[in-house]
């Protein structure tokens, strides 16, 4: 029986149909228990991942977002995972700029046979996000973000002065 936590983060997980989604199924058939926090959305390929999906998830109140696809060289569509990975780098910077801790978002790889690995990924991200606390409203973060930019500019100005 899992001990109840004060804060149960919600994690939106976009999984590739060919590997990680299958891994998630495998974790199930093997009855491997992992935190219930992940909400899985199936896509045919992580290459489909539009950065907008990640932002949308945060905007809708997700506390963390996971993308998981095929291992390098194993993409069902040759190279979608690679493109997604490059995108995920950009996404990390993007959300950081928006005042969202980049740790709330991650891209991982799990092949169809790695049920336990997938369970581990969810465990880890859940704990990371739990430690960061609730996401809160994105608008608040944007406010803080602009404030931070202000200070930034001032500081910069002083340096120049």
Partner 1 sequence: MPANRIGVYVCHCGTNIAGTVDCEAVRDFAAKLPGVVVSRDYKYMCSEPGQEIIKKDIREENLDGVVVASCSPRMHEPTFQKAVAQAGLNSYMMEMANIREQCSWVTEDMDEATEKAKDLVASAVAKVRMNAPLEATYNDITPRALVVGGGVAGIEAALRIADSGYEVVLVEKEASIGGKMAKFDKTFPTLDCAACILTPKMVEVAQHPNIKLMTYSEVEKVDGFVGNFEVTIRQKARDVDLEDCTGCGICSEKCPGKAASEFDEGLSQRGAIYIPFAQAIPNVAVIDRENCLYYNGKAKCQVCAKLCPSDAITFDNEDVLVKETFGAIVVATGFQSFRPEEGNQWGFGKYPDVISGLQFERLTNASGPTDGKVKTSKGEVPKAVAIVHCVGSRDANHAEYCSRICCMASLKFAHLVKEKCKDAEVFEFYIDMRAFGKGYEEFYNRIQEEGVHFIRGKSAEVSCQIEDEGERLVLRGEDTLLGVVREIPVDMVILNTALLPQADAPKVAETFGLQQGEDGFFMELHAKLAPTKTPVDGVFLAGTCQAPRDIPDSVAHAGGAASEAQQLIASGKVKMSPVAAYNEEEKCSGCKICIALCPYDAIEFDEDKGVAVFNQALCKGCGTCVASCPTKAAGIKHFEDEQIFAQIEGVCASS
Give the binding site for partner 1 (CB under 8 A).
1-2, 8, 10, 12, 18-19, 21-22, 24-25, 27-29, 31-34, 36, 39-45, 47-50, 52-53, 56-57, 60-63, 73-74, 76-80, 83, 87, 111-114, 119
Q: Which residues 6+ apart lie within 8 Å of 10 measured at CB?
A: 37, 39, 61, 62, 63, 64
Nearest one of 103, 14, 10, 11 to 51, comparing CA atoms: 14
Given a contact cutoff of 8 angstroms between Cβ atoms, the answer to whether 69 and 80 are in contact is yes
Q: Strand locations in the chain, DSSP E?
A: 11-16, 38-43, 64-69, 105-109
Given a contact cutoff of 8 angstroms between Cβ atoms, the answer to whether 65 and 41 are in contact is no
Question: For residues 1 and 160, which CB has a smaller minimum distance to partner 1 in the complex?
Answer: 1
Question: For residues 7 and 146, which CB has a smaller minimum distance to partner 1 in the complex?
Answer: 7
Shortest distance, position 158 Cβ to partner 1, whole Å? 38
Question: For residues 106 and 122, which CB has a smaller minimum distance to partner 1 in the complex?
Answer: 122
Shortest distance, position 103 Cβ to partner 1, whole Å? 19
Question: For residues 78 and 153, which CB has a smaller minimum distance to partner 1 in the complex?
Answer: 78
Q: Please state, in angstroms and rounded to a whole number, the distance separating the CA atoms of residues 146 and 98.
A: 9
Q: Which residues 6+ apart lie within 8 Å of 151 measured at CB?
A: none
Shortest distance, position 54 Cβ to partner 1, whole Å? 9
Shortest distance, position 95 Cβ to partner 1, whole Å? 15
């Amino acid at each position: 029986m899992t001990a109840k936590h004060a804060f149960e983060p919600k994690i939106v997980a976009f999984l590739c149909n060919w590997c990680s989604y299958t891994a998630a199924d495998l974790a199930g058939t093997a009855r491997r228990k992992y935190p219930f926090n992940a909400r899985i959305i199936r896509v045919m390929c992580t290459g489909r991942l539009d950065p907008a999906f990640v932002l949308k998830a945060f905007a809708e109140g997700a506390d963390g977002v996971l993308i998981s696809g095929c291992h390098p060289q194993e993409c069902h569509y040759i190279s979608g995972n690679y493109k997604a990975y490059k995108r995920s780098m950009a996404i990390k910077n993007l959300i950081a700029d928006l005042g969202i801790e980049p740790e709330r978002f991650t891209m991982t790889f799990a092949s169809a046979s790695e049920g336990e690995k997938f369970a581990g990924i969810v465990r880890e991200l859940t704990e990371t996000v739990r430690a960061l606390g609730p996401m809160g409203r994105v608008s608040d973060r944007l406010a803080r973000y602009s404030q931070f930019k202000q200070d930034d500019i001032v500081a910069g100005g002083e340096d120049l002065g």
